[in-house]
Amino acid sequence: MATTTKKAVNELITSLRSLAPKRAISYGEAIQVARLQAARFRRWAEADQPDINLIWLIEQRAVPVHFVPAHKLSEESGLTTNAVGGKVQVFINQNEPLTRQRFSLLHEFKHVLDFTDGDHLYERLGSGDQKRKELQMELICNHFAAHVLMPTALVKSHWFATQNVDLMAGLFNVSPEAMSKRLRDLGLIERPEEKPRTYFRQAGAALGDALCCAA
């Protein structure tokens, strides 16, 4: 395991940030940057096994990580902020399952990476729609977390050997839901077939009366 002194972790953060261009980027470029950062993160952590050890990320003090009750996060999974003492810190919902906490920890670490330059880096996202921009930023962080926890090469090699979602989830220390999504994204399992759905827009009492009569 690489050293996790403040200096070493700050150097890691600088190294990962350097993979992003010094300009506004598209959503597709941001996804690619997240993948590159995830791969370098794994190499730095010397993680060659499916279940990456994240204890060092919890214990490092360059960016303090705090586990707090759900109500302090308004029931959200995590938060990255500098509003507490003027220092960037990460807060994780301690009431969620451990596999969810691992995902949230990495999701928030991606927010840490983007904290300094994110406003400029992502200014083109959303095409002027702020809510869409915020959603895309969250998806980028999810992408980073998924690639750290479930890197493509390892997932493929173990999937071909196991062909079992629950076993894969255990090997990678993630939830079965997260593993299923990763396998679908990689085209290793099929997406569930959507069931036909029907929606009615009521047009007043007359429609209701007609449906009652038809019944």
Pairing of strands 78-81, 89-93: antiparallel
Would you kindly state where each structural domain of the chain is located, as residue ranges? 151-190
For 37, phi then psi, to 5°, come to: -65, -40
Q: Rounded to an integer, what distance in angstroms lies between the CA atom of residue 122 and that of residue 99?
A: 29
Q: pLDDT tens string for the chain (215 positions)?
A: 456 899 999 999 999 999 999 999 999 999 999 999 999 999 999 999 999 999 999 999 999 999 999 999 999 999 999 998 899 999 999 999 999 999 999 999 999 999 999 999 999 999 999 999 999 999 999 999 999 999 999 999 999 999 999 999 999 999 999 999 999 999 999 877 666 766 666 555 444 454 444 44
- Is residue 122 within 8 Å of residue 133, measured between CB atoms? yes
Sheet hosting strand 65-68, strand order edge to edge: 65-68, 89-93, 78-81
Global confidence as pTM: 0.88
